[in-house]
Amino acid sequence: MSAPRTARARVRAELTREIADAARRQLAESGAAGLSLRAVARELGMASSAVYRYFANRDELLTALIASAYDGIGAAAEAADAAVARGDHLGRWRAVGEAVRDWAQARPHEYALVYGSPVPGYAAPDSTVGPASRVVLALGANFADAARGGRLAPLAVPVSEPSGPLAAELAALLAGVPGGAEGVGAAAPDVVRRCLAAWTQLFGTVSFELFGQYAMVGHREEYVRHTLELTGVLLGLRAE
């Protein structure tokens, strides 16, 4: 992503972005399955075949949109987390949850693109795993901070700890989160499983709301807020 040196390279980068933008607009209207390279070309007033100079095929265009969606949702989560006092772990969780939820509500098709059914015959390339983990890493930092400060409440009911290779594997994941595993010690597998559970609950809730599974609940927004709070508390997060 260095600065384009020739005029040609500059206009190429610009056009690439314009195509992606038009595709995103069209995605918002018709969804992933309705995304048409020809329609994108029409909107930009160019021949459909010319688009193939910039994206080799539809999947490559989808990949660009997927990466940008992961980045957008990850940035929203990180910003929300950063805006809350470091020690208010429940507040940080709530903030990240609301941010993810609001982002999804504002861009349902982009959200569905990354957290809905995988596009058939399409495998996300490795370049998307980095952006894809930003949200869970933000959640993980919160849990790790709480554990480090001794402020992660013990699970109030007897639950078997993860054991054996699974425990080792979970503990190893902590090395990837900002702040790392220092100061967490033997609690690492427990901290990571709580984080993954929270992460799963968050996206399960957001998806269910967005995809219409909560049709039986009338006060949906209030319900979502309430259930996220419940999850955070049950998993040991506390306010300052």
Partner DNA sequence: CGTTTTCGAGAGCAGTGCTCTCACAGTAGA
Partner DNA sequence: TCTACTGTGAGAGCACTGCTCTCGAAAACG
Binding site for its own copies (CB under 8 A): 30-34, 109, 112-113, 115-121, 124, 129, 132-133, 153, 155-160, 162, 165-166, 169-170, 173, 176, 193, 196-197, 200-201, 203-205, 207-208, 211-213, 215-219, 222-223, 226-227, 229-231, 233-235
Cβ pair 161, 167 in contact under 8 A: yes
- The residue length of the chain stands at 240
Q: Which does 83 bind (CB under 5 to 8 A by kind): DNA, its own copies, none?
A: none
Among the listed residues 232, 163, 154, 225, the one whose alpha carbon sits nearest the alpha carbon of residue 195: 232
Show Cβ contacts of residue 70 under 8 Å, excluding neighbours closer than 6 positions. 114, 128, 131, 132, 134
23 makes contact with DNA (CB under 7 A):
no
Q: Which does 58 bind (CB under 5 to 8 A by kind): DNA, its own copies, none?
A: DNA
Q: Which does 153 bind (CB under 5 to 8 A by kind): its own copies, DNA, none?
A: its own copies
Site for DNA in 30-69 (CB under 7 A): 35-39, 45-50, 52-54, 56-59
Per DSSP, the three-state class of 215 is coil
Which of these ranges, 4-12, 148-156, 165-173, 202-210, lies near DNA under the rule CB under 7 A? 4-12
Among the listed residues 206, 194, 19, the one whose alpha carbon sits nearest the alpha carbon of residue 99: 206
Q: Which does 48 bind (CB under 5 to 8 A by kind): DNA, its own copies, none?
A: DNA
**With contacts defined by CB under 7 A, how many residues of the chain interact with DNA?**
26
Scanning the chain, the segments in alpha helix (DSSP H) are 7-30, 37-43, 48-51, 58-82, 89-106, 108-115, 129-132, 134-148, 164-173, 188-210, 220-234
Tell me whether residue 32 or residue 41 sits nearer to its own copies (CB atom).
32
7 makes contact with DNA (CB under 7 A):
yes
Q: Which residue has the tokens 């095929």?
A: 57
Kindly list the residues in this chain that would bind DNA in the complex (CB under 7 A). Answer: 5-9, 11-12, 15, 35-39, 45-50, 52-54, 56-59
